[in-house]
Amino acid sequence: MNLYLKFDSGIAFKKIIQEQMDKLNIKYAYIGFAEIEIDDAISSARLNEINTSLCNYGIEIVENQKNILVQKIKDTIIEMVYMDDKLPTSNSYYISDKLKQRYSYISSVFSEVTYTSIENFIILQKIERAKQLISANQVTFTEIAYMLNYSSIAHFSTQFKGVTGITPSTFQRILTKRRKNNLDLK
């Protein structure tokens, strides 16, 4: 049986931080948006301990402002791609409006830190959402194309194939066969 879960990553994040910091016996204050405050006098060895215990959860301490901005950009993009409604028509306007920074600045910091462009990252996330929707098997390709703001189903299919190397229908067929295989094994 496959269960499809929804979850709140914010709550999970806070809980992990709380558990790990308690375990290390470090006092902290949660400031919000992936930011916590700890005592300035903390040693770098202790900082390393924090980093080591958090990295098991895919969380790492980012020192500089650029990395923080990149994380905010990624979060904003993911939030945008996973909106229940149709995606905004202008990505760049949406992102710079949310982050209150000039788009040219946002975009250059993003490329500098991640070796990829914001446009590429958005495409990657849109295809990821499309995969999730195909996998859940509740909406048609036409509906997916509309939700993710593609001008046509052909445009959607072409971009899907561009990113994954396979068409949406092949992708769907592979997932269906895999599920059947797994059921047969049990």
Among 94, 131, 144, 148, binds other proteins (CB under 8 A): 131
Contact between 113 and other proteins per CB under 8 A: yes
Residues in the chain: 186
The piece of 10-18, 34-42, 102-110, 170-178 that touches other proteins (CB under 8 A) is 170-178
Residue ranges in 33-92 that form contacts with other proteins under rule CB under 8 A = 58, 67, 74
Stretch that binds other proteins, among 33-41, 93-101, 145-153, 171-179 (CB under 8 A): 171-179
Write out the H or E segment, with its range, that includes residue 24: helix 9-24
Q: Treating both helix axes as pointing N-terminal to C-terminal, what angle do 168-185 and 118-136 enclose, rounded to 10 degrees?
A: 50
What is the number of other CB atoms lying within 10 angstroms of the CB of residue 175?
Answer: 14
Among residues 117, 132, 137, 142, the one that binds other proteins under rule CB under 8 A: 132
Report the distance separating Cα 93 and Cα 177, nearest Å.
41
User: Across 90-178, where does the E strand assignment appear?
Assistant: none
Which has the closest alpha carbon to 54: 9, 17, 10, 26? 17
Stretch that binds other proteins, among 11-19, 34-42, 147-155, 165-173 (CB under 8 A): 165-173
Per CB under 8 A, 15 contacts other proteins? no
**Residue 155 host element (H or E):** helix 153-164
Told to check if 153 binds other proteins by CB under 8 A, we report no
Please give the residue ranges that form the binding site for other proteins (CB under 8 A).
58, 67, 74, 113-116, 124, 128, 131-132, 134-135, 164-166, 170-171, 173-175, 177-178, 181, 185
